[in-house]
């Protein structure tokens, strides 16, 4: 199923915990998600059905409140019903059964006419033969502003007990939206105080804030199920890699270098709920390590009463010191009773210990089994992702995967590693995206210099300096796309910043490579083509055709040649000197390969440079500068501004007597390196470079 996420969380400047703020026209997230988060999956494992309703018959439900007929709950099978011109126009819930559904969406959120609207089953559900607990499961879709959707139950249709509401989902603004996965499923357990009665009513109660009555994005409801619960059922609530059970640690690293993993200490924990009808004696956590290691860790035991939360599951310390490979961690919640639904009391996570790669997202990229893309199509932006280094390290490169559907060549960007003070401690050069970079897989860009990184917290940063389309590949967070924080608000490891605000992204494939376990291939080679034909006035050229047995496709090039020649370009043009040109190619691992190329023929018969002095100032600049020509031959000249790809950004004709100063203005240049080429009528020319900041 195609799911489109126009989503993100607005972060406070001083905290990672805040409410939602998203601009759907700017943020683009989309992908074929083979598996979504726990919120998006239908999680009910209960098949002993007491009552089920898919809204096939509208008379099964009684709807009250809502002011105008078009602004209360409605039952429909037509996309667009009750949506007017508001956010969910021409939309329906993708529920399991399809067909009819219930929907409530204001037709005009700027002129609301109601505060509350309810929907209750018209005929009481007979639960006289049941005791203990039942489970209420339903599917929903929508988004929240100042409104609240409460799910309530009653024995008499008058006194109501609230089971849940939508307060754990982000609050939007009228110009933004966090949209739930379509559909989202919840299992709510009905306590014995209700189940021990004879009749059951279910109420969906939409209630708006009194200050802004009626403002809301809306909700869709379908497939309401009442089912009996098992005799014994322990269900995992949260899991963590440390003593503190917080959703922040439900997912740790997808990959860690071997030396870093051996310096780390894990102590697994979990919370769980007794969803069965009986108390659970000696309940505890069994943490099984499999794959690269084989070990079982146990927590202390405790008795967990019916309906209670177990929060004593903590294991002893564990270290991933068995070398490279996949470590599979499985949390099992056990007790002396045989669990009737074991699937919901276990959870497994893989962590790869690698030669030299860190990845916060599941590793490798294909392991996520859920691909999307993050970024904006209309503005510069910054993506950051949190990392932690256990011990001193040296960073060789930073990797990122660019999506091939939406990304385009020509975008200027840089990758960096920044510390807690927002200071870059490792960074790549500035790059302009090319087609060879847009591969739907992680490629690494070497850091400019190697420096020692102290243990601690860091962020990997991807910064786009232009408004060109360049979208990193992302995946749905393995635990949840939005993680509630313990102190309120929400948390994510990946943040998208643009337009003066910060937004939470799904997990982006921004990875880090250190200098551990690097083995260079002695058979690495560089091949290229020399052009030095026997034509008077011909200017020589050398183009690199291929680099083999080195990690690419991003390399650095260092050329040397006759009369002190040097260059860092991949390919050389306009060569005027015969002789041997030597290139040293370096990959992200600092492995090198050297190759000589001989340029002969008639290269250099006509000198590329004309007489005179050409200067450009200021440098760096913002695209506006002065070009000074002193002592040059009088005549007509052509001035061309080019980018690093050789594309012309501006062409201008200049008439010169003996000296001349030209004011040049080039608009909309992104940050990076550019060149000014000045050529006379005889074909002689000179080139000066400048930087746009």
Residues 157 and 64 in one domain: yes
pLDDT value of position 151: 95
Residue 43 confidence (pLDDT) above 70: no
Unique residue bearing structure tokens 């002193």:
630
**Helix, strand, or coil (residue 356):** coil
| Rounded CA separation 606/538 (Å) | 8
How do residues 169-203 score in pLDDT, each as one tens digit? Answer: 666 654 445 677 788 887 888 988 999 999 999 99
In 302-356, beta strands by DSSP E: 302-304, 309-314, 325-334, 346-354
88 located within any domain: yes
Confidence of residue 17 (pLDDT cuts 50, 70, 90): very low
pLDDT value of position 426: 96
* Alpha carbon distance, N-terminus to C-terminus of the chain: 43
Domain enclosing residue 352, as ranges: 234-357
Residues 576 and 621 in one domain: no
Task: Considering only residues 49 and 480, tell me which one the structure prediction assigns the higher pLDDT.
Answer: 49
Which string of b and e fits 475-508 if b means at least 16 CB within 10 Å? bbbbbbbbbbbeeebbbbbbbbbbeeebbbbbbb
Residue 18 confidence (pLDDT) above 80: no
Residues 281 and 380 in one domain: no
Residue 594 confidence (pLDDT) above 50: yes
Unique residue bearing structure tokens 């990076």:
672
| Rounded CA separation 658/662 (Å) | 13
| Rounded CA separation 434/437 (Å) | 6
| Rounded CA separation 378/162 (Å) | 44
Domain count, the chain: 5
How do residues 252-292 score in pLDDT, each as one tens digit? Answer: 899 999 999 999 999 898 889 898 889 999 999 999 999 99
Confidence of residue 211 (pLDDT cuts 50, 70, 90): low
633 located within any domain: yes
Of 31-35, 360-364, 480-484, the least confident: 31-35
pLDDT value of position 70: 54
Q: What mean pLDDT is predicted for residues 284-303?
A: 95
DSSP letter string, 251-302: S--SEEEHHHHHT--B--EEEEEE-SSS-EEEEEEEEEEEES--EEEE---E
Residue 28 confidence (pLDDT) above 70: no
pLDDT value of position 7: 28
30 located within any domain: no
pLDDT value of position 168: 66
| Rounded CA separation 204/627 (Å) | 71
- Assign residue 260 the CATH number of its domain: 2.60.40.10
Q: What mean pLDDT is predicted for residues 233-261?
A: 82
Percent of the chain, pLDDT > 70? 80
- Assign residue 115 the CATH number of its domain: 2.60.120.200
pLDDT value of position 601: 62
Instruction: Give CA separation, 339 vs 231, 284, 297, 313, 435, in Å.
Output: 8, 13, 20, 17, 54
Residue 565 confidence (pLDDT) above 60: yes
11 located within any domain: no
Q: What are phi and psi of 636, to 5 degrees?
A: -95, 135
pLDDT value of position 583: 96
For residue 527, count other CB atoms closer than 10 A to its CB.
11
Q: What are phi and psi of 392, to 5 degrees?
A: -55, 140
pLDDT value of position 82: 53
Q: What mean pLDDT is predicted for residues 402-421?
A: 94
Task: Considering only residues 443 and 77, tell me which one the structure prediction assigns the higher pLDDT.
Answer: 443
Q: What are phi and psi of 260, to 5 degrees?
A: -70, -40
The residue among 329, 320, 299, 322 whose CA lies nearest residue 311 is: 299
Q: What mean pLDDT is predicted for residues 154-176?
A: 79
Among 534, 568, 599, give the residue marking a domain's end.
599
Instruction: Give CA separation, 114 vs 72, 246, 363, 514, 530, in Å.
Output: 9, 38, 49, 59, 78
- Assign residue 457 the CATH number of its domain: 2.60.120
The residue among 377, 288, 396, 372 whose CA lies nearest residue 333 is: 288
DSSP letter string, 358-416: EBSSSSSGGGG-B-EE-SBSSS-EEEEEEEEESS-EEEEEEEEEB-TTT--TT-EEEEE
Q: What are phi and psi of 78, to 5 degrees?
A: -115, 125
| Rounded CA separation 379/27 (Å) | 10
Residues 97 and 223 in one domain: yes
Confidence of residue 113 (pLDDT cuts 50, 70, 90): low
Percent of the chain, pLDDT > 90? 46
pLDDT value of position 598: 87
Distance of CA 505 to the CA centre of its chain: 5
| Rounded CA separation 350/289 (Å) | 10
For residue 660, count other CB atoms closer than 10 A to its CB.
15
Task: Considering only residues 606 and 577, tell me which one the structure prediction assigns the higher pLDDT.
Answer: 577
Q: What mean pLDDT is predicted for residues 370-386?
A: 85
| Rounded CA separation 123/346 (Å) | 38
38 located within any domain: no
Residues 620 and 681 in one domain: yes
Contact 224, 52 (CB under 8 A): yes
Which string of b and e fits 236-264 if b means at least 16 CB within 10 Å? bebbbbeeebbbbbbbbbbbbbbbbbbbb
Confidence of residue 60 (pLDDT cuts 50, 70, 90): very high
**Helix, strand, or coil (residue 480):** coil
How do residues 313-336 score in pLDDT, each as one tens digit? Answer: 789 999 999 999 999 999 999 999
Residue 115 confidence (pLDDT) above 60: yes
| Rounded CA separation 274/345 (Å) | 10
Identity of the highest mean pLDDT range in 13-17, 28-32, 642-646: 642-646
Residue 42 confidence (pLDDT) above 70: no
247 located within any domain: yes
Contact 275, 227 (CB under 8 A): no
DSSP letter string, 635-649: EEEEEEEEETT--EE
pLDDT value of position 116: 80
**Helix, strand, or coil (residue 246):** coil
Task: Considering only residues 394 and 683, tell me which one the structure prediction assigns the higher pLDDT.
Answer: 394
pLDDT value of position 47: 56
Residues 67 and 200 in one domain: yes
For residue 102, the cross-strand partners are 75, 221
Contact 219, 141 (CB under 8 A): yes
Task: Considering only residues 148 and 646, tell me which one the structure prediction assigns the higher pLDDT.
Answer: 148
The residue among 609, 607, 691, 614 whose CA lies nearest residue 654 is: 614
Q: What mean pLDDT is predicted for residues 206-227?
A: 78
Residues 344 and 446 in one domain: no
Both structure tokens of 573 = 């043009």
Residue 606 confidence (pLDDT) above 50: no
Residues 308 and 189 in one domain: no
Unique residue bearing structure tokens 């302009």:
432
Residues 100 and 135 in one domain: yes
Q: What mean pLDDT is predicted for residues 550-562?
A: 94
Contact 190, 136 (CB under 8 A): yes
The residue among 610, 690, 604 whose CA lies nearest residue 644 is: 690
Q: Please, what is the average pLDDT of the chain?
A: 82
Residue 504 confidence (pLDDT) above 80: no
Residues 289 and 374 in one domain: no
The residue among 479, 674, 589 whose CA lies nearest residue 257 is: 589
Residue 216 confidence (pLDDT) above 80: no
β-pairing verdict for 540-548 and 525-531: antiparallel
In 590-647, beta strands by DSSP E: 592-599, 613-617, 624-630, 635-643
Q: In sequence order, which ranges of 324-367 are alpha helices (DSSP H)?
A: none
381 located within any domain: yes
Among 491, 514, 537, give the residue marking a domain's end.
514
What letter would DSSP give residue 539? P
pLDDT value of position 302: 92
Among 303, 322, 357, give the residue marking a domain's end.
357
3 located within any domain: no
Residues 375 and 353 in one domain: no
- Assign residue 672 the CATH number of its domain: 2.60.40.3080
Q: What mean pLDDT is predicted for residues 354-358?
A: 95
How do residues 64-78 score in pLDDT, each as one tens digit? Answer: 876 544 567 888 887
Residues 6+ apart with CB under 8 A from 233: 274, 275, 276, 339, 340, 341, 344, 345
pLDDT value of position 72: 78
Residues 551 and 477 in one domain: no
The residue among 296, 21, 66, 65 whose CA lies nearest residue 178 is: 21
Task: Considering only residues 254 and 85, tell me which one the structure prediction assigns the higher pLDDT.
Answer: 254
Both structure tokens of 307 = 């309906």
């Amino acid at each position: 199923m195609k799911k489109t996420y126009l989503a993100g969380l607005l972060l406070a400047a001083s905290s990672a915990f805040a409410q939602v703020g998203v601009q759907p026209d700017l943020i683009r997230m989309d992908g074929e998600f083979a598996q979504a988060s726990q919120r998006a999956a239908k999680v009910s494992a209960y098949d002993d059905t007491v009552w089920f309703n898919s809204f096939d018959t509208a008379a099964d439900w009684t709807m009250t409140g809502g002011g105008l007929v078009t602004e209360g709950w409605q039952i429909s099978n037509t996309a667009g019903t009750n949506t007017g011109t508001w956010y969910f126009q021409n939309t329906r819930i993708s529920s399991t059964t399809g067909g009819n559904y219930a929907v409530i969406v204001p037709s005009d959120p700027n002129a609301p006419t109601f505060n509350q609207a309810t929907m209750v089953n018209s005929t009481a559900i007979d639960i006289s033969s049941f005791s203990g607990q039942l489970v209420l499961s339903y599917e929903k879709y929508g988004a929240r502003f100042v409104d609240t959707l409460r799910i309530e139950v009653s024995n008499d249709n008058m006194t109501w007990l609230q089971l849940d509401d939508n307060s754990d989902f982000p609050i939007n603004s009228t110009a933004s939206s966090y949209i739930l996965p379509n559909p989202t499923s919840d299992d709510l357990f009905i306590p014995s105080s209700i189940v021990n009665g004879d009749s059951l009513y279910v109420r969906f109660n939409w209630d708006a804030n009194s200050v802004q009555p009626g403002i809301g994005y809306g909700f869709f409801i379908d497939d309401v199920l009442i089912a009996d619960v098992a005799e014994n059922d322990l269900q995992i609530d949260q899991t963590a890699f440390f003593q503190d059970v917080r959703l922040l640690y439900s997912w740790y690293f997808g990959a860690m270098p071997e030396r870093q993993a051996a310096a780390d200490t894990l102590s697994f924990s979990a919370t769980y709920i007794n969803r069965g009808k009986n108390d659970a004696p000696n309940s505890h956590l069994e943490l099984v390590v499999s794959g690269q290691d084989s070990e079982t860790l146990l927590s202390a035991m405790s008795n967990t009463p019916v309906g209670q939360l177990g929060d004593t599951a903590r294991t002893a310390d564990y270290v991933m010191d068995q070398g490279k490979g996949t470590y599979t961690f499985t949390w099992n919640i056990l007790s002396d009773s045989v669990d009737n639904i074991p699937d919901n009391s276990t959870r497994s996570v893989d962590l790869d210990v690698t030669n030299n790669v860190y990845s916060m997202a599941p590793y490798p990229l294909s392991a996520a089994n859920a691909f999307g893309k993050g970024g904006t199509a209309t503005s510069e932006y910054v993506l950051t992702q949190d990392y932690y280094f256990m011990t001193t390290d040296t960073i060789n490169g930073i990797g990122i995967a660019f999506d091939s559907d939406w990304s385009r060549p020509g975008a200027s960007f840089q990758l960096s590693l920044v510390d807690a003070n927002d200071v870059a401690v490792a960074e790549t050069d500035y790059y302009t995206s090319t087609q060879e970079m847009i591969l739907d897989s992680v490629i690494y860009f070497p850091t400019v210099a190697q420096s020692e990184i102290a243990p601690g917290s860091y962020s990997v940063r991807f910064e786009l300096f232009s408004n060109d389309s360049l979208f990193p590949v992302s995946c749905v967070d393995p635990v949840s796309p939005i993680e509630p924080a313990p102190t309120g608000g929400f948390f994510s490891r990946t943040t998208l910043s643009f337009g003066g605000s910060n937004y939470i992204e799904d997990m982006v494939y921004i990875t880090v490579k250190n200098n551990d376990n690097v083995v260079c291939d002695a058979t690495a080679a560089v091949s290229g083509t020399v052009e030095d034909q026997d034509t008077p006035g011909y200017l020589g050229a050398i183009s690199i055709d291929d680099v083999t047995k080195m990690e690419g496709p991003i390399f650095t090039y260092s050329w040397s040649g006759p009369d002190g020649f040097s260059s860092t370009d991949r390919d050389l043009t306009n060569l005027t000197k015969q002789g041997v040109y030597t290139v040293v190619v370096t990959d992200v691992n600092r492995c090198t390969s050297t190759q000589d190329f001989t340029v002969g023929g008639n290269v250099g018969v006509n000198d590329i440079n004309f007489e005179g002095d050409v200067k450009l100032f200021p440098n760096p600049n913002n695209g506006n500068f002065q070009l000074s020509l002193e002592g040059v031959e009088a005549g007509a000249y052509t001035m061309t501004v080019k980018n690093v790809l050789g594309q012309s950004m501006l062409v201008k004709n200049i008439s010169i007597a003996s000296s001349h100063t030209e004011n040049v203005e080039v608009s909309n240049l992104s940050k990076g390196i550019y060149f000014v080429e000045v050529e006379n009528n005889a074909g002689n020319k000179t080139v000066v470079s400048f930087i746009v900041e």
